[in-house]
């Protein structure tokens, strides 16, 4: 379902822009995601215009996040001075959200400004990481991991935050340690004499690092669709063919939890659940000039809801209410 070619990215960006016209109240997350697709298609100028459009709009919800994306994008296509000015502005504004910090720190890192990147990550963690946080939130984990990576490249010894980064990483991705992943020697030792081995190792490193970085620079969750029971009943009465997708409501709920756990186990970060309703699904099908009975629309509908900022983060805290709406704690319900 993830687009790959430049043409796919442009088509997806156009779809998101159409959705933004339909739902002006959700314009910001939709335009940000459209801009991400334009960047991936190499259309950096168009992406830049979308960021400017958001910054010029009445009340941008996350102006510093938009500026951070704009800085990363501008530097990538040769506008270094403008990018630096934006980065300085964001640092001076000291946002209390992780994402703008992570994006500017990574941008500095990508352009080999390791000291400046390190400083940025450290300032952000000083602001955002509280002592004794039981569960480090997803966005803050990216900061811990990024700082750990930059410190290894700078040859600095482990400090307390590095130890926290190692521990948090091990809780979420047990198959490879953060130290192994961020070991600069692994990169330097790539002068192997076996080209096939070398290529395989580089590909492995890329995919590992890529999953961190893409998760970080695209703070949009991979979302799974959840139909509350009454909505599912109504859906299946209107479009019985969808019973192939959803044999029973209980099975649907079990599937949601199982899919999310699978995604998490294979290293997908930033997961979420979006709640479906029949009227909004019908409106979506109409906007795609298709029938709601077409099951191929379901994943696109989920992506669009997530792009509109409608996803609830998964997993919930163990003691919080389960995502299914049963009223029980997650640990006693689908988290059991």
- Which residues here bind Zn ion, judged by CB under 5 A? 162, 166, 178-179, 322, 324, 326, 333-334
With contact defined as beta carbons under 8 Å apart, do 189 and 78 qualify? no
Residues contacting residue 112 through CB under 8 Å, at least 6 positions apart: none
Shortest spacing between CB 320 and Zn ion, in angstroms = 11
Closer of 250 and 293 to Zn ion (Cβ):
250
Closer of 50 and 322 to Zn ion (Cβ):
322
With contact defined as beta carbons under 8 Å apart, do 231 and 278 qualify? yes
Closer of 181 and 285 to Zn ion (Cβ):
181
Shortest spacing between CB 307 and Zn ion, in angstroms = 25
With contact defined as beta carbons under 8 Å apart, do 54 and 16 qualify? no
Closer of 30 and 273 to Zn ion (Cβ):
273
Closer of 111 and 331 to Zn ion (Cβ):
331
The CA distance from 71 to 120, in Å, is 14
The CA distance from 198 to 226, in Å, is 43
Closer of 18 and 167 to Zn ion (Cβ):
167
Shortest spacing between CB 258 and Zn ion, in angstroms = 13
**Roughly how many angstroms between the first and final C-alpha of the chain, as a whole number?**
29
For 248-257, the CB contacts below 8 A with 24+ separation are 252/226, 252/227, 253/226, 253/324, 253/334, 254/334, 256/224, 256/225, 256/226, 256/323, 256/324, 256/334, 257/334, 257/335
- Work out the number of other CB atoms within 10 angstroms of the CB of residue 336: 11
Closer of 197 and 262 to Zn ion (Cβ):
262
Shortest spacing between CB 330 and Zn ion, in angstroms = 7
Shortest spacing between CB 162 and Zn ion, in angstroms = 5
Q: Strands across the sheet with 271-275, in order? A: 222-226, 271-275, 312-314
Q: Which residue has the tokens 């010894």?
A: 157
DSSP result, 240-273 = GGGGGT-S-HHHHHHHHHHHHHHHHHTT--SEEE
Shortest spacing between CB 263 and Zn ion, in angstroms = 18
Closer of 263 and 321 to Zn ion (Cβ):
321
The closest alpha carbon to 234, from 272, 306, 273, 282, belongs to 282
Shortest spacing between CB 164 and Zn ion, in angstroms = 10
Shortest spacing between CB 109 and Zn ion, in angstroms = 17
């Amino acid at each position: 379902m993830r687009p790959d070619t430049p043409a796919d990215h442009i088509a997806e960006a156009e779809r998101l822009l159409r959705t933004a016209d339909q739902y002006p109240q959700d314009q910001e997350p939709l335009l940000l995601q459209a801009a991400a697709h334009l960047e991936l298609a190499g259309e950096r100028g168009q992406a830049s215009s979308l960021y400017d459009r958001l910054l010029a709009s009445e009340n941008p919800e996350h102006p510093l996040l938009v500026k951070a994306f704009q800085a990363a994008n501008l530097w990538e296509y040769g506008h270094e001075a403008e990018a630096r000015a934006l980065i300085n502005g964001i640092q001076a504004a000291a946002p209390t959200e992780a994402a703008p910090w992570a994006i500017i720190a990574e941008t500095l890192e990508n352009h080999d400004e390791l000291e400046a990147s390190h400083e940025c990550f450290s300032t952000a963690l000083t602001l955002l990481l509280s002592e004794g946080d039981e569960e480090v939130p997803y966005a803050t984990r990216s900061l811990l991991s990024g700082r750990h990576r930059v410190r290894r490249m700078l040859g600095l010894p482990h400090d307390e935050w590095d130890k926290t980064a190692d521990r948090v990483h091990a809780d979420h991705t047990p198959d490879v340690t953060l130290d192994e992943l961020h070991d600069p020697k692994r990169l330097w030792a790539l002068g192997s004499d076996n080209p096939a081995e070398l290529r395989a190792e580089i590909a492995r490193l890329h995919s590992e690092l890529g999953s961190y970085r893409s998760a970080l620079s695209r703070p949009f969750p991979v979302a799974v669709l959840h139909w509350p029971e009454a909505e599912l009943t109504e859906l299946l009465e209107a479009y019985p063919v969808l019973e192939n997708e959803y044999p029973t409501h209980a099975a649907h709920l079990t599937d949601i939890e199982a899919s999310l756990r699978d995604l998490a186990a294979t290293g997908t970060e930033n997961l979420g659940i979006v709640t479906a309703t029949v009227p909004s699904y019908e409106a979506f099908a109409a906007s795609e000039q298709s029938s709601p009975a077409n099951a191929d629309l379901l994943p696109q509908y989920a992506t669009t809801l997530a792009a509109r900022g409608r996803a609830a983060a998964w997993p919930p805290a163990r003691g919080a209410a389960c995502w299914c709406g049963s009223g029980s704690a997650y640990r006693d319900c689908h988290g059991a």
